[in-house]
C-alpha cells in the first residue's frame, strides 16, 4: 500500500499527539498522520508517567514551557470539548535540612518574577492540605500554588481526540520499520508492515525507541532509557480532595493522589539502564519486572514523613522507562544532514510538564522555521557524534540519579564534536 502525507509522526504517546494537535491547529500543514505500533495510544511510557506539572524550573525556557502547558490544559476542555483531567491543587516541597530549605528560599524571588504564586509553608498550611505529613520531621517547606497533575494517558487521549477533530489521521497497530530517503539524502517518508508513506516531514516521538529509527538515518540520539519505578497504595479515607503533589527531594521521592491512594515514585541512586535496541522487537514496558525492592526502600524513606505511605497496602506496582540525556535537556529538533527528519525524545522526567510546549515548539518550527524560543540547548547534535555508547549510558544514569541533587550533575564526554 502506498500513501502520502505532509507530516508523519511516529509514536502515539503524549509528545507525538501534542505535536499532531499543535501542527493541525496552525492550519499551515497539509495531511498529518500519526503512527503508533501498539493497539492503543499512549500505552507505554506515557501511561506510566506520574503526570506532575510543577512550575519551579531553573531555566526560563522551561519555566515558560511548563506555564504554557498548565495554561493550555486548564483551557483545553472549554476550547476543544476534550477533558485532559488536570487538577491544580498546588505542590508542597519538603526540606529535611537547612541547606535544602535555603535552596528553596532562594527560588522564591525568581519564581515570583515568572508570576508563580509561591510561599513558605508553615505547619498550619501543611496540615490543612496534607494532614498525614509529620511536620516534626521537616526543616521547612514551600508551597507552589497552581501546580498540578494529570492522568498522563487521559491527557494524551484528549490531545488525540482534538487532533482528530482537526483532521489528523491517527492510526494504531502500525509498526514503522524504516525510513526512506531521496537521492539527495533528504527524508522522504516511512515504511511500515502495511506499505510506505511518503512525507515532507517525519517526526520521531518514540521515547526510548527513538534510536531504532534515528540510527537508520545515521544519527544516534544523545539519550538512554532508564527504568522508572512507582507504586500506588490502597485508598486513604483521610486524604483531602485537594491534596497537593508532594516532593521530598532529600529522599529523591515524590507523590500525589491517585484513585484515593498515594502514587509515589523514587529516583534510584543506582539507576537501571534499559535499551530497547538490545531487547526483543516486541518489548514493552509491561515486560519490566515490578520494582518491589526499590518501592520498599522508598516506603522506608517516606514512612516517617507520611506514615500512611508505609502502612497502607500496595495496590499497584508501576514500572516503565524514562529517557535521559547527559545534560538533562530534551533532544528536540531537526536531525542534522537529513532534511525533513525531526526527533523529540529524552523527557528527562519532565515529559508531561513540557508536553504542551514540545508540541507547540515543533509545530511552529516545522511550519514557520522558528520554534518561538531559543532551543539551542536541546538540539539533537549538541554533543556531536556519539562514539562511546558506554559513556553515554553512564552519563544518562547519573543524570537520573542526581535529579534532585543540590550539587548539579557532572560533565561527561560522550562524543566527538564534528
Residue 78, Cβ density class (10 Å: 0-12 exposed, 13-18 middle, ≥19 buried)? exposed
SS3 373: coil
- Per-residue pLDDT tens over the stretch 83-116: 999 999 999 999 999 999 999 999 999 999 999 9
Indicate if the pLDDT at residue 416 is higher than 70. Answer: no
Where does the pLDDT of residue 297 fall: very low under 50, low under 70, confident under 90, or very high at 90 and above?
very high
For the chain, which residues make up each domain, given as ranges?
A: 89-148+225-322
- CATH number 3.30.9.10 given to 89-148+225-322: yes
Q: Report yes or no: 5 and 144 within 8 Å, Cβ to Cβ.
A: no
If you average pLDDT over residues 5-11, what whole number do you get?
A: 98
Tell me the C-alpha distance between 267 and 129, whole Å: 25
- Interior CA angle at 155 toward 152 and 157, to 5°? 110
Among residues 386, 97, 49, 24, the alpha carbon closest in space to that of 251 is found at 97
> Percent of the chain, pLDDT > 90?
94
> Percent of the chain, pLDDT > 70?
97
Among residues 135, 169, 294, the alpha carbon closest in space to that of 227 is found at 294
Strands 195-204 and 2-10: parallel
Q: Of the ranges 50-64, 194-208, 297-311, 395-409, which one carries the lowest mean pLDDT score?
A: 395-409
End-to-end Cα separation, the chain, in angstroms:
39
Helix axes 14-26, 355-368, angle to 10 degrees: 40
Q: Report yes or no: 286 and 235 within 8 Å, Cβ to Cβ.
A: no
- Per-residue pLDDT tens over the stretch 284-293: 998 999 999 9
Q: Report yes or no: 266 and 349 within 8 Å, Cβ to Cβ.
A: no
Amino acid at each position: 500500500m502506498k500513501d502520502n502525507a505532509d507530516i508523519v509522526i511516529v509514536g502515539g504517546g503524549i509528545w507525538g499527539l501534542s505535536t499532531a494537535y499543535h501542527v493541525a491547529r496552525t492550519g499551515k500543514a497539509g495531511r498529518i498522520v500519526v503512527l503508533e505500533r501498539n493497539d492503543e495510544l499512549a500505552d507505554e511510557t506515557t501511561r506510566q508517567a506520574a503526570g506532575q506539572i510543577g512550575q519551579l524550573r531553573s531555566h526560563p525556557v522551561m519555566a515558560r514551557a511548563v506555564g504554557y502547558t498548565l495554561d493550555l490544559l486548564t483551557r483545553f476542555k472549554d476550547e476543544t470539548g476534550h477533558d485532559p483531567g488536570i487538577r491544580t491543587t498546588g505542590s508542597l516541597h519538603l526540606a529535611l535540612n537547612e541547606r535544602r530549605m535555603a535552596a528553596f528560599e532562594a527560588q522564591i524571588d525568581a519564581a515570583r518574577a515568572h508570576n508563580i504564586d509561591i510561599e513558605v509553608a508553615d505547619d498550619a498550611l501543611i496540615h490543612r492540605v496534607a494532614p498525614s505529613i509529620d511536620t516534626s520531621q521537616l526543616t521547612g517547606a514551600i508551597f507552589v500554588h497552581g501546580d498540578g497533575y494529570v492522568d498522563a494517558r487521559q491527557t494524551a487521549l484528549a490531545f488525540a481526540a482534538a487532533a482528530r477533530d482537526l483532521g489528523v489521521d491517527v492510526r494504531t497497530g502500525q509498526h514503522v520499520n524504516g525510513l526512506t530517503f531521496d537521492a539527495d539524502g533528504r527524508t522522504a517518508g516511512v515504511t511500515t508492515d502495511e506499505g510506505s508513506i511518503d512525507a515532507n516531514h517525519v517526526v520521531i516521538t518514540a521515547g526510548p525507541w527513538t534510536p531504532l529509527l534515528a540510527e537508520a538515518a545515521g544519527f544516534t540520539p544523545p539519550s538512554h532509557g532508564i527504568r522508572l519505578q512507582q507504586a500506588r497504595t490502597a485508598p486513604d479515607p483521610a486524604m483531602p480532595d485537594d491534596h497537593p503533589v508532594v516532593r521530598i527531594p532529600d529522599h529523591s521521592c515524590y507523590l500525589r493522589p491517585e484513585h484515593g491512594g498515594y502514587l509515589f515514585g523514587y529516583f534510584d541512586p543506582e539507576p537501571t539502564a534499559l535499551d530497547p535496541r538490545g531487547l526483543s522487537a516486541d518489548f514493552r514496558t509491561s515486560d519490566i519486572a515490578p520494582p518491589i525492592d526499590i518501592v520498599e526502600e522508598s516506603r522506608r524513606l517516606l514512612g516517617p514523613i507520611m506514615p500512611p505511605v508505609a502502612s497502607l497496602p500496595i495496590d499497584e506496582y508501576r514500572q516503565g522507562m524514562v529517557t535521559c540525556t547527559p545534560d538533562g535537556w530534551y533532544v528536540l529538533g531537526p536531525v542534522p544532514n537529513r532534511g525533513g527528519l525531526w526527533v523529540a525524545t529524552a523527557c528527562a522526567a519532565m515529559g508531561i510538564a513540557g508536553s504542551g510546549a514540545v508540541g507547540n515548539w515543533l509545530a511552529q518550527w516545522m511550519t514557520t522555521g522558528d520554534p518561538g524560543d531559543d532551543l539551542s540547548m536541546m538540539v539533537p547534535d549538541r554533543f556531536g557524534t556519539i562514539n562511546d555508547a558506554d559513556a553515554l549510558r553512564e552519563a544518562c544514569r547519573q543524570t537520573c540519579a542526581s535529579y534532585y541533587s543540590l550539587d548539579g550533575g557532572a560533565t561527561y564526554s560522550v562524543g566527538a564534536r564534528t
